[in-house]
């Protein structure tokens, strides 16, 4: 070891023979090296190992005298036994204490996870028998400005072999690597993170600073409110609201009282606010292109009996280019009823009902907010994208498809893991602030995830000229299609050549997706029937799912190791779908939360029954959220809307192809005209 260190000193020009200035003795250098952090030792070893060893003639790999073999599989078995970790980079090293470890050789695992590395034991150093160790690496990438890819490798694990191995053959056996495992016992595709463990990925460093900048101005405000409440001096809702920055609806009410409670504003936010969602035609007036319906069936779920959450059936009509609510039907339970499917009394409200109409609109607005948080935001973006992220990380390593997808799949599992306790679960904010119990939220999310599929998806067309959200969605979808087409034109041949990774990616997706879910009403009115009122473009193919014996929500891209006709187009559609929800769709639902959920009396996640019932005026604070829930709501809305890092156009990690960045930038003015600052759209879901 000291001989190797003397060579290291000479290569560094430190204490070298004949140099006349002995600065560090080998023993001192050994202590210096052993004091370095592991990553520093690895980096130094990689850099200096070729110079430390005496020059030796190159030899053909097959002629090297020794070999180390083994097989790497996932920690958890699949339905047919161990699942191979294919195409993983494996390096063989000789461990040295106090000196740089010696690199012996490398390879990639084959399709069954097997590896075989030939090496020369003499590379461990003169008189040193190798202490064997295999190290595992996953690929990372960045793009240069010209679109060329730069590959790097991140170490994800290691396994030690024998010390002072004098033989010419060593079998590491079957090594189980806990790598991007699926959480057991859940109907959704979620990442498995043990209570003591950490996810197999990390946030980009700049994200922490972005979070701090967003939250710091309001953190003390929330803490003060919660402390006052615990001391029995809870501030009023007006004081809580005033302590936070002025939201859009508060400002509008200050400038034009009543403007945000109008029928016109109600319809405008259903079109262009955070609530933007699919609007079906009204099935009761077939053929009327101006009549629409939004239906939210909450009575199917268990409720806490404290909050009032009726079935909401909103009928709307285009009047002179504006979407106006004309009728709201509420299916009201009796106060305190908790069981799913409880008896309901249906009450109909119209604009002629005055204060009752305003109360019905408020109830519908709160219902739409809860549906947005669980559906458009948490379900369709966060958890939906997570299932693609897990399958991609498990399977895409050699296939260039990862250069297209991975920038948009990073970090989503991290924020979802945080949401498990922060938003949902027994003490999550949604559980506490809404009528839905923990079990009901789980059921709702499973039903939602059972209705999402990439096949056939396209954003629904605008329903009127003022439908800015739908126009922006269509423009983004179009540009995204151009980006995906250009990528496949450049890399399509290699994608096909590495199709086995696509096959396994698809297999994982289908195997772990939720069972396809179609509610009883849709089963009776849509599959196999002429239902022109039903918007199909954003929904899974109900006719296709109806004929499958046990259908899964996510359709397969392929079932073979070689692409069949039409499957490359299917893969392109899947990529377009995933990127759309990880970027544009999430940005629209998330970034508008402060605008549409930044005023407690305007909207929240749940209205309480109160002493006079739930359908009372805003002046009845028994119906509104209590102070602790109110300040948490405003804190969360601000934090979600204002934490921005990982933006598409900024491309901070340089992992998005510059062609896509430039394509969006050239259309920035078109997006701006539709109310979207394209600079605020993130490249991935990390908030």
Max alpha carbon distance in the chain (Å)? 101
DSSP calls for 202-258: ---HHHHHHHHHHHHHHHHHHHHHHHHHHTT-PPPHHHHHHHSPPPHHHHHHHHSTT
Query: 112-160 pLDDT, tens per residue?
Result: 999 999 999 999 998 899 999 999 999 999 999 999 999 999 999 999 9
Last residue of a domain, one of 120, 153, 177: 177
Residue whose pair of structure tokens reads 């289908």 in the numeric block? 510
Instruction: Using pLDDT thresholds of 50, 70 and 90, give the confidence band for residue 33.
Output: low
What's the rounded Cα separation, in Å, for the pair 593 and 591? Answer: 6
The secondary structure of 307-333, three-state, reads: EECCEEEEEEEEECCEEEEEEEEEEEC
What is the average pLDDT score of the chain? 93
Instruction: Using pLDDT thresholds of 50, 70 and 90, give the confidence band for residue 56.
Output: low
Please indicate, yes or no, whether the overall pTM of this predicted structure exceeds 0.85: yes
Asked whether residue 116 is domain-assigned, the answer is: yes
Asked if 139 and 148 touch (Cβ cutoff 8 Å), the reply is no
Residue 306, both tokens: 């404290």
Asked whether residue 382 is domain-assigned, the answer is: yes
> In angstroms, how far is the first alpha carbon of the chain from the final one?
49
Last residue of a domain, one of 125, 158, 177: 177
Q: How confident is the model at residue 19, as a pLDDT?
A: 37
Asked whether residue 297 is domain-assigned, the answer is: no
Look up the CATH number of the domain holding residue 82: 2.60.40.10
Angle at 394 between CA 114 and CA 548, to 5 degrees: 110
Query: 276-323 pLDDT, tens per residue?
Result: 989 999 999 999 999 999 999 999 999 999 999 999 999 999 999 999
Query: 559-599 pLDDT, tens per residue?
Result: 999 999 999 999 999 999 999 999 999 999 999 999 999 99
Q: Which of 54-58, 308-312, 384-388, 648-652 has the lowest mean pLDDT?
A: 54-58
What's the rounded Cα separation, in Å, for the pair 587 and 333? Answer: 35
Could you give the count of Cα atoms lying within 13 Å of 548 in the half-sphere of its Cβ?
16
Comparing C-alpha atoms, which of 450, 411, 459 is closest to residue 581? 459
Query: 229-244 pLDDT, tens per residue?
Result: 999 999 999 999 999 9
Torsion region of 528: left, alpha or beta (phi above 0 gives left; psi -120 to 50 gives alpha): left
Asked whether residue 227 is domain-assigned, the answer is: no
pLDDT at residue 20 above 50? no
Comparing C-alpha atoms, which of 406, 411, 416 is closest to residue 377? 416
Query: 547-558 pLDDT, tens per residue?
Result: 888 999 999 999
Asked if 369 and 314 touch (Cβ cutoff 8 Å), the reply is no
Asked whether residue 257 is domain-assigned, the answer is: no
pLDDT at residue 16 above 50? no
What's the rounded Cα separation, in Å, for the pair 20 and 3? Answer: 19
Q: How confident is the model at residue 4, as a pLDDT?
A: 47
Q: Cα–Cα distances in Å, from 257 out to 95, 251, 620?
A: 73, 9, 19
Question: How many Cβ atoms sit within 10 Å of the Cβ of residue 158?
Answer: 15
Q: How confident is the model at residue 17, as a pLDDT?
A: 38
Look up the CATH number of the domain holding residue 416: 1.20.245.10
Asked whether residue 339 is domain-assigned, the answer is: no
Instruction: Using pLDDT thresholds of 50, 70 and 90, give the confidence band for residue 47.
Output: low
Q: How confident is the model at residue 196, as a pLDDT?
A: 73
pLDDT at residue 11 above 60? no
Count: domains in the chain: 2
Q: How confident is the model at residue 546, as a pLDDT?
A: 84
Asked whether residue 565 is domain-assigned, the answer is: yes
Which residues, in sequence order, are bridge partners of residue 94?
102, 132
Q: Cα–Cα distances in Å, from 54 out to 44, 66, 123, 224, 645?
A: 17, 20, 9, 67, 48
Asked if 48 and 29 touch (Cβ cutoff 8 Å), the reply is no
What's the rounded Cα separation, in Å, for the pair 646 and 592? Answer: 18
Asked if 457 and 556 touch (Cβ cutoff 8 Å), the reply is no
What's the rounded Cα separation, in Å, for the pair 548 and 543? Answer: 9
**For 101-130, b where at least 16 C-beta lie within 10 A, e where not — what string?**
bbbbbbbebeeebbbebbbebbbbbeebeb
3-state helix, strand, coil in the chain (%, to 5): 45, 15, 40
Asked if 604 and 625 touch (Cβ cutoff 8 Å), the reply is yes
Q: How confident is the model at residue 197, as a pLDDT?
A: 78
Residue 375, both tokens: 């559906």
| Domain span at 107 | 60-177
pLDDT at residue 14 above 60? no
Comparing C-alpha atoms, which of 434, 275, 299 is closest to residue 361? 275
List, in order, residues 6 or more apart from 117 with CB less than 8 Å away. Answer: 67, 68, 69, 90, 92, 104, 105, 106, 107, 134
pLDDT at residue 381 above 50? yes
Q: How confident is the model at residue 31, as a pLDDT?
A: 59
- Using a 10 angstrom Cβ sphere, with 0-12 exposed, 13-18 middle and 19 or more buried, the burial of residue 281 is buried
Q: How confident is the model at residue 127, as a pLDDT?
A: 84
Torsion region of 604: left, alpha or beta (phi above 0 gives left; psi -120 to 50 gives alpha): beta
What's the rounded Cα separation, in Å, for the pair 236 and 229? Answer: 10
Q: How confident is the model at residue 59, as a pLDDT?
A: 72
Query: 424-477 pLDDT, tens per residue?
Result: 999 999 999 999 999 999 999 999 999 999 999 999 999 999 999 999 999 999
pLDDT-above-90 percentage for the chain: 86
List, in order, residues 6 or more apart from 450 with CB less than 8 Å away. Answer: 514, 515, 516, 517, 553
Query: 160-217 pLDDT, tens per residue?
Result: 999 999 999 999 999 999 999 999 989 999 999 987 778 899 999 999 999 999 999 9
Last residue of a domain, one of 111, 146, 177: 177
Question: How many Cβ atoms sit within 10 Å of the Cβ of residue 266?
Answer: 23
Query: 652-682 pLDDT, tens per residue?
Result: 999 999 999 999 999 999 999 999 999 999 9
pLDDT at residue 43 above 90? no
Q: How confident is the model at residue 5, as a pLDDT?
A: 45
Secondary structure letter of residue 130 according to DSSP:
-
Secondary structure letter of residue 679 according to DSSP:
G
Comparing C-alpha atoms, which of 80, 87, 183, 10 is closest to residue 394? 87
Asked if 434 and 309 touch (Cβ cutoff 8 Å), the reply is yes
Query: 485-531 pLDDT, tens per residue?
Result: 999 999 999 999 999 999 999 999 999 999 999 999 999 999 999 99
Asked whether residue 632 is domain-assigned, the answer is: no
What's the rounded Cα separation, in Å, for the pair 637 and 631? Answer: 10
Q: How confident is the model at residue 2, as a pLDDT?
A: 42
């Amino acid at each position: 070891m000291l001989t190797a260190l003397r060579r290291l000193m000479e290569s560094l020009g430190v204490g070298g023979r004949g140099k006349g200035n002995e600065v560090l003795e080998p023993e001192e250098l050994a202590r210096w090296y052993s004091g370095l952090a592991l990553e520093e030792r690895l980096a130094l070893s990689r850099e200096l190992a070729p110079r430390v060893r005496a020059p030796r003639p190159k030899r053909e790999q097959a002629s090297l005298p020794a070999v180390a073999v083994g097989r790497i599989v996932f920690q958890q078995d699949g339905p047919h036994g161990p699942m191979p970790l294919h195409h993983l980079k494996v390096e063989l090293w000789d461990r040295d204490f106090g000196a740089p470890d010696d690199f012996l050789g490398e390879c990639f695992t084959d399709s069954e996870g097997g590896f075989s590395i030939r090496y020369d034991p003499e590379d461990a150093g003169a008189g040193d028998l190798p202490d064997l160790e295999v190290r595992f690496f996953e690929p990372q990438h960045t793009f240069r400005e010209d679109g060329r890819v730069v590959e790097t490798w991140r170490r994800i694990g290691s396994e030690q072999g024998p010390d002072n191995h004098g033989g010419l053959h060593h079998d590491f056996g079957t090594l189980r690597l806990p790598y991007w495992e699926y959480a057991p016992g859940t109907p959704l595709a979620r990442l498995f993170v043990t209570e003591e463990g950490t996810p197999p990925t990390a946030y980009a460093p700049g994200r922490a600073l972005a979070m701090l900048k967003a939250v710091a101005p309001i953190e003390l405000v929330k803490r003060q409110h919660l402390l006052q409440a615990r001391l029995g001096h809870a501030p009023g809702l007006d004081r809580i609201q005033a302590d936070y920055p002025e939201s859009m609806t508060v400002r509008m009410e200050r400038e034009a009282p009543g403007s945000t409670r109008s029928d016109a504003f109600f319809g405008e936010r259903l079109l262009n606010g955070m609530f933007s969602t699919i609007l079906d035609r009204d099935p009761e007036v077939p053929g009327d292109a101006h009549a629409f319906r939004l239906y939210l069936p909450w009575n199917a779920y268990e409720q806490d009996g404290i909050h009032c959450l009726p079935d909401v059936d909103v009928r709307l009509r285009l009047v002179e280019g504006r979407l106006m609510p004309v009728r709201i039907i509420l299916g009201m339970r009796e106060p305190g009823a908790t069981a799913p499917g409880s008896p309901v009394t249906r009450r109909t409200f119209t604009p002629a009902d005055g204060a009752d109409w305003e109360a019905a609109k408020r109830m519908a607005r709160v219902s739409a907010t809860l549906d947005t948080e669980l559906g458009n935001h948490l379900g369709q973006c966060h958890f939906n994208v997570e299932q693609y992220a897990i399958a991609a990380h498990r399977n895409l390593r050699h296939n260039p498809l990862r250069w297209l997808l991975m920038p948009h799949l990073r970090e989503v599992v991290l924020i979802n893991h945080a949401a498990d306790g922060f938003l949902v679960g027994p003490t999550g904010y949604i559980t506490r602030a809404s009528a839905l119990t923990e079990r009901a939220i789980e059921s709702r999310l499973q039903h939602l995830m059972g209705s999402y599929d990439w096949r056939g998806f396209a954003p629904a067309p605008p329903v009127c000229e003022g439908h800015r959200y739908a126009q922006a969605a269509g423009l983004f979808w179009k540009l995204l299609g151009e980006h995906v087409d250009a990528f496949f034109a450049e890399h399509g041949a290699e994608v096909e050549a590495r199709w086995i990774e696509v096959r396994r990616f698809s297999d994982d997706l289908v195997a772990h997706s939720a069972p396809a879910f179609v509610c009883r009403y849709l089963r009776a009115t849509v599959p196999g029937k002429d239902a022109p009122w039903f918007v199909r473009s954003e929904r899974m193919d109900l006719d296709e799912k109806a004929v499958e014996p046990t259908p899964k929500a996510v359709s397969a891209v392929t079932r073979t190791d070689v692409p069949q006709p039409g499957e490359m187009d299917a893969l392109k559609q899947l990529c377009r779908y995933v990127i759309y929800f990880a970027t544009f769709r999430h940005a629209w639902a998330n970034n508008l939360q402060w605008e549409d959920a930044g005023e407690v009396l305007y909207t929240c996640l749940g209205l309480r029954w109160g002493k006079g019932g739930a359908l009372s005026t805003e002046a009845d604070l028994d119906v509104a959220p209590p102070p602790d829930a109110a300040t948490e709501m405003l804190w969360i809305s601000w934090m979600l809307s204002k934490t921005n890092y990982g933006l598409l156009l900024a491309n901070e990690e340089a992992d998005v192809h510059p062609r896509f960045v430039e394509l969006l930038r050239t259309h920035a003015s078109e997006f701006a005209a539709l109310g979207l600052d394209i600079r605020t759209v993130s490249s991935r879901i990390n908030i």
